[in-house]
Amino acid sequence: MVKDRITPRDFGFINTDFSATEVIEAISLIYHKYWEIIGSDIIEYVLNILNDEGSDNHIKHTFISLIPKVNSPTSLVEFRPISLCNVILKIITKTMANMIKSMLPNIINDFQSISLPRRLISDNSLIIF
């Protein structure tokens, strides 16, 4: 149960404010070319939502577009739907996921093999033997 696995130290860690470094790490190469122009604005905007409970209602909308699978499609089955999310929303969720990822080894039991790097489901077979 997760309740028993998060230590007071981990709880304090996830309740600290996010930093500009964490946002930059989440962004990676998304805005690489124009970062000098727009970087500080993006970091300020993301940190406002993450730390100051700013509203993210206007960036939560997703557009669904249909991409043709074949030339000159004639029916819906010949299209592939794709969701187009706001990149700022993706930066926010990636920043949060990176923080949670650092705590997973403390939360997930040693015998569970999912969601952790370098753990395979086949490891459980070896443990049983």
**Domain limits of the chain?**
2-59+87-128
Structure tokens at 16: 């600290």
pLDDT digits (tens, 9 = 90+) for 61-107: 888 999 999 999 999 999 999 988 888 888 888 898 888 888 877 77
pTM of the model: 0.61
8 A C-beta contact, residue 57 and residue 44:
no
Q: Which H or E run includes 22? A: helix 20-27
User: Rounded to whole angstroms, how far apart are CA atoms 26 and 23?
Assistant: 5
Written as one letter, the residue type at 6 is: I
Please report, for residues 29, 56, 108, 109, 129, the alpha-carbon distance to residue 126 in angstroms, rounded to integers and kept in the order given.
39, 46, 19, 16, 5
User: Rounded to whole angstroms, how far apart are CA atoms 45 and 122?
Assistant: 43
- Mean pLDDT over 50-59 rounds to 84
